[in-house]
Amino acid sequence: MGRRRRGKKIDGWIVLDKPLGLSSTAALGAVKRLLHPQKAGHGGTLDPLATGVLPIALGEATKTMPFIVDSTKEYEFQVCWGEERNTDDREGEVTHTSDHRPDARQIDAALGGFIGEIEQIPPAFSAIKVDGTRAYDLARAGKPPEMRARTVRVERLERLVGGEKHSDAEHTSFHLVCGKGTYVRALARDLARVLGTRGHVSALRRTRVGPFQISHAISLELLNDLSHSARAEESILPVMTALADIPALAVTENEADRIRHGQAVNLPTARSGTICLTHGGMPLAVAEASEGIVRPLRVFNLA
């Protein structure tokens, strides 16, 4: 007889509005202490100095996390001109300075060079592994690694206008839509260099991760209040939310039984690629279809 899991059987997503100063791991720990799920994980790290959307998968939703980690993300961030720092954000030590402050016209003219497929060197203070060691561990030990450039995708990058928080002589705010692996800190650093100055990220807020919008997000304070009643479950989004962009296909009871046992089924109408199989209106499995043959990749236990 298998060992019973500790915790509650909770399946779905909490979209946390991560507060300033808290690491993603600490935020995940706080949610686990409040809801006591059997299993949980976060979909995409946010630095402690960043706020905003941190999707947290509970129970069977953890099986859909790869689709969230690889999804498109949106940010609003602010660049402070005149100082480059070793962390590329306001937490680090100043390494270079400049007296030049770019104006709006110069900034707008430079943004086009950062849209599309671009080469980017990640910050030395990042979670990327270098010879088996996290880059930030090497950097903190005084041995910052030589980071290799990699290709990332920027769909949109625009200067924000209007409102006191958006711009002054020392700061400019931006809206960014980008693909996986894009470092906002590196983007700010490189933009400043192109503009003939230095810069670092002074504020960063993530407003979307895949299908999860900031409008879906809940604060830790509110989640704490709701956790003392049955209303906490009202904040949990369905497992299927993470699969909104994946084609869905309903299967029969016999087909569902084969899928549950990890067996392939013949579904001539299935479009080749990754699909979500459903049964009785509930997600059954993430599967791979090829020439009508569908093989389960991750089977859900949502009964």
Residues acting as catalytic residues: 47
Other Cβ atoms closer than 10 A to 236: 21
Q: Which residues of 204-233 are buried (b: 16+ CB within 10 A; e: fewer)?
A: bbbbbbbbbebebbbebeebeebbeeeebe
Q: Are 268 and 251 in contact (CB under 8 A)?
A: no
Helix pair angle (184-194, 104-111), 10° resolution: 120
Q: Which residues of 263-289 are buried (b: 16+ CB within 10 A; e: fewer)?
A: eebebeebeeeebbbbbeeebbbbbeb
